[in-house]
């Protein structure tokens, strides 16, 4: 037993109270505010000390202790719970006209001509729950059920660290709070990835995952799932504590008690503001860290809510304006194979056109043949397709109960559908590839688009349609061919005029003055991304040195393993690629070259040597490309994705998923002022 566990009862009680207060505060900062102030190790030490004290002093153990979130045996079944105040449904609106009709009815019933004030909040796609607190302590929790009777899920709700076991500050002696349990998108993806690795069943979507996780008979299973919750209302409320006058004030009170509420909640005046909020939130829907399927509007004044009253199953003072569905059911007409830049064949389902999230979808990716086999997709199948924001639609699952007799299995073609070259598959990978290389028009097109891309040579104006024409006419086979085309040839292309041709030729001339990392990335060497291209350039200093390097020398580059080293060495060994480099030089290409760090492993690279940085969002003072180049010049490793090894995330305006992941991992986030310090060679 530790010294602390053996201390006197009085001092132990004081220490236990302090530890519980600290742990609850840390839980709130981590799970609700995304702003942890202690490391995992420090948090674990506090929890371990509390368990030891409670073990040594059993009289101090109480049900709302943080150590009791997962306790007891698995239940044999869920017990029914009758809600003291029914959990009613909401009426739905599916268009602006239907919402405006609801708003007009509310004003007419209240005999008001002036605009109404509404509280607006995201309609979470999860599982509705009701929690009862007695004298501030969590007493019970139940699912919505049929609105009158739900299921007792108290043990499972207690495992959610975002849910306080005791409310902060004064509260009604008896209080029911209503909310939604959901699974964040990132947690859902990570959980399904683990399940796939272990050969286990995967969930279809976050809502099903949340519902299934909360309805586990063993609370230890629930505790292992990445669940969260937001609260948005109340049921029973004892008369010893005054109720807030508005719904927005109620939400603030819930937050003050330590209950998580959505940061997307808004107070709006008038129908026009409500319509604008619906459009704005809908546009950001795919970037939110949780799934929503609409916006809930509630008349804000709670006295006016009472005046408006209720229908049999729903209140007259609230409505859910739904978004267009982001999943839909359709039929697979055919499966075709697209050829990518490196020759990888990707199966694509050609669908019976269907509206998904307001957009007509007729194609959906199947990712690869492993996914086709795992989902057992066949031509003729009825499937569920999903679209989120600008992401390419995907086939989520097959509905085998609707499978027709003539459904055909999908097979990888033996020959490339574009050039007819044999399709090959290496022993060390699942992807199948066209062996045609640049003889394949599809690979040529993708390689040229990559070369002209913003992160590579940044040839402004050379878009997809122009590249298609250049390859289809047989004018361009390699990037070097772009630089010998005449202005007349450019002007002869569809949708090109003399001025457009002149602008494009100027962009080509400008692109010749580049950096070695950009050139290496633009060449499209397989598996050589921006970070690897920068590492190769920094190590060898010149293109000639890299071109002449042996496999062993390339392996000396930090973070370059045998597979990538082999591909780099093989690329430069091919006569056609060497000829392309000579032609680029002849076209006037130039880039700064240095002595590099080859053979000088002990030499420091700069003030940011070895510091891993990720940039996201829009920077006001410079482009992200410029910031990346300047950071690399100081020795930093600039990468495209956030991981536990990331030292800093620089976040500009409209930062999205990378910012959320950095917050989840505890990676320090810097604004442009912090970026300025990095560019000055200082660590914030």
Q: What is the largest CA-CA distance in the chain?
A: 93
pLDDT of residue 427: 60
C-beta of residue 613 within 8 angstroms of C-beta of residue 674: no
**Per-residue confidence band for 73, with pLDDT thresholds at 50, 70 and 90:** very low
CATH architecture label of 327-409:
Beta Barrel (2.40)
Which CATH superfamily is 91-322 part of?
DNA ligase/mRNA capping enzyme (3.30.470.30)
Share of the chain above pLDDT 90, in %: 39
CATH number of 612-679: 3.40.50.10190
C-beta of residue 324 within 8 angstroms of C-beta of residue 294: no
pLDDT of residue 38: 63
pLDDT of residue 276: 95
Is the pLDDT reported for residue 1 higher than 60?
no
C-beta of residue 72 within 8 angstroms of C-beta of residue 138: no
Is the pLDDT reported for residue 505 higher than 80?
yes
Is the pLDDT reported for residue 235 higher than 70?
yes
In angstroms, the CA 625 to CA 619 distance is: 10
Check if 437-511 and 516-586 are the same fold.
Answer: yes
Q: At a CB cut-off of 8 Å and minimum separation 6, what does 263 contact? A: none
pLDDT of residue 244: 96
pLDDT of residue 2: 47
Residues paired with residue 383 on neighbouring β-strands, in sequence order: 330, 398
pLDDT of residue 29: 62
C-beta of residue 587 within 8 angstroms of C-beta of residue 531: no
In angstroms, the CA 33 to CA 642 distance is: 20
C-beta of residue 485 within 8 angstroms of C-beta of residue 475: yes
SS3 of residue 484 by DSSP? helix
CATH number of 9-68: 1.10.287.610
Q: Which residue has the tokens 């009158």?
A: 148
**422-449 pLDDT per residue, tens:** 998 866 566 788 988 878 999 999 999 9
**Per-residue confidence band for 203, with pLDDT thresholds at 50, 70 and 90:** confident
Cα 454 versus chain centre, distance: 23
Is the pLDDT reported for residue 602 higher than 60?
no
C-beta of residue 1 within 8 angstroms of C-beta of residue 52: yes
CB atoms within 10 A of CB 553: 17
| CA-wise closest residue to 679 among 622, 608, 625 | 608
CB atoms within 10 A of CB 48: 12
H helices present in 215-356, as ranges? 219-223, 247-256, 271-283, 302-308
pLDDT of residue 498: 83
- Compute CA distances 564 → 523, 525, 570, 632, whole Å: 14, 9, 10, 21
Look up residue 241 and give its two tokens: 């504590």
Dihedral sign from CA coordinates of 395, 396, 398, 402: negative
In angstroms, the CA 677 to CA 32 distance is: 30
In angstroms, the CA 438 to CA 524 distance is: 12
pLDDT of residue 472: 92
Average pLDDT (567-587) is 90
**627-674 pLDDT per residue, tens:** 877 787 787 888 777 887 889 999 887 676 778 788 878 888 898 888
Q: Where does residue 636 fall: left (phi above 0), alpha (psi -120 to 50 degrees), or beta otherwise? A: beta
**137-189 pLDDT per residue, tens:** 999 999 988 788 888 999 889 889 889 999 999 999 999 999 999 999 888 88
pLDDT of residue 531: 74
CB atoms within 10 A of CB 115: 15
**Catalytic choice (123, 298, 322, 658):** 123
In angstroms, the CA 533 to CA 308 distance is: 65
Burial of 654 (0-12, 13-18, 19+ CB in 10 A): exposed
Average pLDDT (71-88) is 72
Residue of higher predicted confidence among 480 and 386: 480
Q: Given 3.10.270.10, 1.10.150.20, 3.20.20.70, 3.30.56.10, which CATH number is that of 516-586?
A: 1.10.150.20
**252-273 pLDDT per residue, tens:** 999 999 999 999 999 999 999 9
| CA-wise closest residue to 117 among 280, 245, 212, 29 | 245
In angstroms, the CA 8 to CA 327 distance is: 60
Is the pLDDT reported for residue 118 higher than 90?
yes
In this structure, what DSSP letter does residue 139 have? E
Q: Which of 24-28, 113-117, 164-168, 357-361 has the lowest mean pLDDT?
A: 24-28
C-beta of residue 144 within 8 angstroms of C-beta of residue 128: yes
Which CATH superfamily is 437-511 part of?
5' to 3' exonuclease, C-terminal subdomain (1.10.150.20)
Residue of higher predicted confidence among 520 and 94: 520
pLDDT of residue 429: 64
| CA-wise closest residue to 272 among 280, 262, 282 | 280
pLDDT of residue 380: 95
Q: Where are the domains of the chain?
A: 9-68, 91-322, 327-409, 437-511, 516-586, 612-679
CB atoms within 10 A of CB 534: 25
Is the pLDDT reported for residue 134 higher than 90?
yes
Kindly report the average pLDDT of the chain as a whole number: 84
In angstroms, the CA 61 to CA 58 distance is: 5
**Per-residue confidence band for 16, with pLDDT thresholds at 50, 70 and 90:** confident
Q: Determine the length of the chain.
A: 684
C-beta of residue 385 within 8 angstroms of C-beta of residue 330: yes
Q: Is the pTM of this model over 0.75?
A: no
pLDDT of residue 126: 86
Average pLDDT (64-77) is 58
Average pLDDT (306-334) is 87
In angstroms, the CA 636 to CA 607 distance is: 8
**Active site annotation includes 499:** no
pLDDT of residue 683: 82
Share of the chain above pLDDT 70, in %: 88
Q: Which residue has the tokens 């590249």?
A: 467
In angstroms, the CA 180 to CA 155 distance is: 16
**Per-residue confidence band for 223, with pLDDT thresholds at 50, 70 and 90:** confident
- Compute CA distances 581 → 452, 471, 485, 528, whole Å: 16, 20, 17, 17
Q: Buried b vs exposed e over 628-641: b needs ≥16 C-beta within 10 Å?
A: bbbbbebbbbbbee
Residue of higher predicted confidence among 592 and 518: 518
Burial of 71 (0-12, 13-18, 19+ CB in 10 A): middle
**Per-residue confidence band for 232, with pLDDT thresholds at 50, 70 and 90:** very high
**Per-residue confidence band for 36, with pLDDT thresholds at 50, 70 and 90:** low
Is the pLDDT reported for residue 489 higher than 50?
yes
Average pLDDT (366-385) is 90
Look up residue 582 and give its two tokens: 């000579």
Look up residue 284 and give its two tokens: 């950001």
SS3 of residue 363 by DSSP? strand
C-beta of residue 286 within 8 angstroms of C-beta of residue 115: no
In angstroms, the CA 316 to CA 308 distance is: 6
Q: Which of 43-57, 172-186, 552-566 has the lowest mean pLDDT?
A: 43-57
SS3 of residue 433 by DSSP? strand
Residue of higher predicted confidence among 10 and 270: 270
Look up residue 261 and give its two tokens: 């509420």
Sheet holding 669-670, edge to edge: 637-639, 612-616, 648-651, 669-670
SS3 of residue 655 by DSSP? coil
569: part of which helix (H) or strand (E)? helix 562-573
């Amino acid at each position: 037993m530790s010294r602390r566990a053996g201390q006197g009862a009085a001092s132990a009680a004081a220490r236990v109270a302090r530890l519980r207060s600290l742990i609850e505060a840390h839980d709130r900062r981590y799970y609700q505010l995304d702003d942890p102030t202690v490391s995992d190790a420090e948090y674990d030490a506090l929890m371990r000390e509390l368990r030891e004290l409670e073990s040594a002093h059993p009289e101090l153990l109480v049900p709302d202790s943080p150590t009791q979130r997962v306790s007891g045996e698995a239940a044999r079944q869920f017990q029914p719970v009758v809600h003291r105040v029914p959990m009613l449904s909401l009426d739905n609106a599916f268009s602006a006209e239907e919402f405006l009709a609801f708003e007009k009815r509310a004003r007419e019933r209240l005999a008001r001509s002036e605009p109404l004030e509404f509280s607006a909040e995201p309609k979470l796609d999860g599982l509705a729950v009701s929690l009862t607190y007695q004298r501030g302590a969590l007493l019970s929790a139940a699912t919505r059920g049929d609105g009158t009777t739900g299921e007792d899920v108290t043990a499972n709700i207690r495992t959610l660290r975002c849910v306080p076991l005791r409310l902060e500050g004064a509260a009604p002696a008896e209080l029911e709070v209503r909310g939604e349990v959901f699974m964040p998108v990132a947690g859902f993806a990570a959980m399904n990835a683990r399940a796939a690795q272990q050969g286990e069943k995967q969930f279809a979507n976050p809502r099903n995952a949340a519902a299934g996780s909360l309805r586990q008979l063993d609370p230890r299973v629930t505790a292992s799932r990445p669940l969260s919750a937001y609260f948005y209302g109340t049921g029973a409320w004892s008369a010893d504590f005054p109720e807030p006058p508005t719904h927005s004030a109620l939400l603030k009170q819930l937050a003050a008690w330590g209950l998580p509420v959505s940061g997307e909640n808004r107070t709006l005046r008038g129908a026009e503001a409500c319509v604008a909020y619906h459009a704005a939130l809908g546009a950001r829907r795919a970037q939110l860290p949780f799934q929503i399927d609409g916006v809930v509007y509630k008349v804000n004044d709670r006295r006016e809510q009472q005046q408006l009253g209720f229908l049999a199953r729903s209140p007259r003072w609230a409505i859910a304006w739904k978004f267009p569905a982001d999943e839909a059911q359709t039929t697979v007409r055919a499966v075709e194979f697209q050829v990518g830049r490196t020759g990888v064949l990707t199966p694509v389902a050609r669908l019976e056109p269907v509206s998904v999230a307001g957009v007509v979808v007729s194609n959906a990716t199947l990712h690869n043949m492993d996914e086709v086999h795992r989902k057992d997709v066949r031509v003729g199948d009825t499937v569920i397709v999903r679209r989120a924001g600008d992401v390419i639609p995907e086939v989520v699952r097959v509905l085998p109960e609707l499978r027709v007799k003539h459904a055909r299995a999908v097979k990888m073609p033996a020959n490339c559908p574009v050039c007819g070259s044999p399709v090959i598959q290496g022993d060390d990978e699942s992807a199948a590839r066209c062996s045609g290389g640049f003889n394949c028009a599809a690979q040529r097109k993708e390689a040229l688009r990559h070369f002209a891309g913003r992160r590579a040579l940044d040839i402004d104006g050379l878009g997809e349609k122009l590249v298609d024409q250049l390859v289809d006419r047989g004018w361009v086979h390699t990037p070097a061919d772009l630089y010998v085309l005449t202005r007349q040839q450019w002007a002869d292309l569809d949708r090109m005029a003399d001025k457009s041709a002149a602008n494009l030729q100027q962009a080509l001339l400008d692109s010749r003055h580049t950096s070695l990392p950009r050139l290496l990335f633009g060449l499209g060497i397989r598996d050589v991304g921006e970070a690897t291209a920068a590492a190769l350039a920094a190590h060898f200093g010149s293109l000639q040195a890299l071109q002449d390097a042996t496999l062993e020398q390339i392996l000396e580059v930090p973070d370059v393993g045998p597979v990538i080293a082999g591909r780099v060495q093989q690329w430069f060994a091919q006569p056609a690629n060497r000829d392309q480099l000579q032609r680029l030089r002849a076209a006037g290409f130039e880039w700064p070259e240095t002595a590099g760090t080859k053979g000088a492993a002990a030499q420091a690279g700069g003030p940011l040597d070895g510091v891993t940085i990720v940039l996201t969002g829009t920077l006001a003072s410079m482009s992200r490309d410029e910031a990346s180049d300047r950071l690399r010049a100081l020795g930093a490793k600039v990468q495209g994705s956030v991981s536990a090894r990331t030292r800093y995330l620089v976040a500009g305006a409209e930062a999205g998923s990378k910012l959320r992941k950095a917050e989840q991992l505890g990676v320090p986030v810097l604004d442009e002022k912090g970026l300025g310090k990095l560019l000055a060679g200082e660590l914030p």
